[in-house]
């Protein structure tokens, strides 16, 4: 598809800090190439705002190739925008029409305090990971192939769980602001592998406790998280997390 230029209007959430009153700012953009990524469109807007002597829109970004989990915003009500299985940085302007009005908001959740504009503090995820602790097996050097036998199906499932980039779209989309898709992906990844077995009970208990402590809600099977997840993590992992948690709580360490 050949690139063309479109004119769009963006309505972006502007908020100076966590306690300030926020509002939607409306900005007109002309000659946006359909080959641009969504973040490049925001770069153009920020350059335009800077040249006009106005403050640019604050947003998080890093790798811009869909693997780091740093970017993210709610675009027209959908975390990471209308393309499924795609991070915001990998969403392209060719999916938008000339003259379209696009509404851009931050990932909202009690456990994700707003920093500024579209940037939220997702360090709660880091603390859940920290609560997971260590694995006691020697992970220092790559073992020879097949010295640790892993059934193919489990290896595949663990790999699917490991695809989680921790962006927080699941939390932003959940009506309960639950972090269960994220936490379950991390718990599953290790519980499915022999290397993660020794600490699996302690890990399930402490990561779920950390998740609750941070103020995230619980899963009520709306499956919104699965719909927006840029890595298409399945809620089957939530079921596995619940089993891991139940087994650990009932039978102890």
Partner 1 sequence: MARNKDGLTKALAEIPAIREEFYANVYIPGTGQELNQSLERAGRVADFLEFAEVMVLDALERKESCGCHLREESQTEEHEAKRDDVHYSHVTVWEHRGVGQPPLLHQEPLEFEAVTPSQRSYK
Closer residue to partner 1, CB minimum distance, 111 or 119: 119
When asked if residue 17 is in the footprint of partner 1 (CB under 8 A), the reply is: yes
Which of 36, 42, 119, 191 lies at the binding interface for partner 1 (CB under 8 A)? Answer: 119
Contact 210, 131 (CB under 8 A): yes
212 forms part of the interface with partner 1 (CB under 8 A): no
| Residue 116 binds to partner 1 (criterion: CB under 8 A) | yes
Looking at 34-42, 113-121, 131-139, 210-218, which segment touches partner 1 (CB under 8 A)? 113-121
CA distances from 178 to 100, 110, 168, 219 (A): 32, 10, 10, 6
Residue 195 DSSP code: G
Report whether 173 contacts 222 (CB < 8 A). no
CB 249 to partner 1: min, Å: 41
Residues listed for the chain: 253
Q: Which of 7, 26, 50, 130 binds partner 1 (CB under 8 A)?
A: 50
- Min. distance of Cβ 205 from partner 1 in angstroms? 36
Distance, CA of 223 to CA of 194 (rounded, Å): 29
Which of 53-61, 202-210, 217-225, 236-244 is the region at the interface with partner 1 (rule: CB under 8 A)?
Answer: 53-61
Other Cβ atoms within 10 Å of 247 Cβ, number: 14
Instruction: Quote the least distance from Cβ 17 to partner 1, whole Å.
Output: 6
d(CA 69, CA 186) in angstroms, rounded, equals 14
């Amino acid at each position: 598809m050949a690139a063309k230029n479109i004119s769009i209007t963006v309505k972006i959430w502007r908020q100076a800090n966590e306690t300030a009153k926020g509002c939607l700012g409306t900005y007109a953009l002309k000659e946006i190439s359909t080959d641009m990524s969504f973040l490049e469109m925001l770069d153009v807007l920020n350059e335009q705002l800077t040249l006009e002597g106005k403050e640019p829109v604050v947003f998080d970004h890093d790798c811009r190739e869909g693997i780091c989990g740093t970017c993210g915003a709610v675009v027209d009500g959908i975390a990471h925008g209308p393309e499924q299985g795609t991070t915001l940085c990998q969403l392209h302007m060719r999916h938008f029409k000339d003259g379209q009005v696009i509404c851009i908001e931050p990932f909202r959740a009690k456990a994700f305090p707003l920093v500024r504009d579209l940037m939220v503090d997702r360090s709660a995820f880091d603390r859940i990971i920290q609560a997971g602790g260590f694995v006691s097996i020697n992970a220092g050097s790559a073992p020879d192939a097949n010295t640790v036998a892993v059934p193919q199906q489990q290896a595949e499932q663990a790999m699917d769980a490991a695809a989680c980039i921790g962006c927080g779209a699941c939390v932003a989309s959940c009506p309960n602001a639950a972090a269960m898709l994220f936490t379950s992906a991390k718990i599953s990844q290790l519980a499915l592998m022999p290397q993660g077995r020794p600490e699996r009970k302690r890990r399930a208990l402490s990561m779920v406790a950390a998740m609750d402590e941070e103020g995230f809600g619980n899963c009520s099977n709306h499956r919104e998280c699965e719909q927006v997840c840029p890595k298409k993590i399945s809620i089957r992992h939530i079921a596995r997390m619940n089993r891991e948690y139940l087994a650990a709580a009932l039978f102890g360490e």
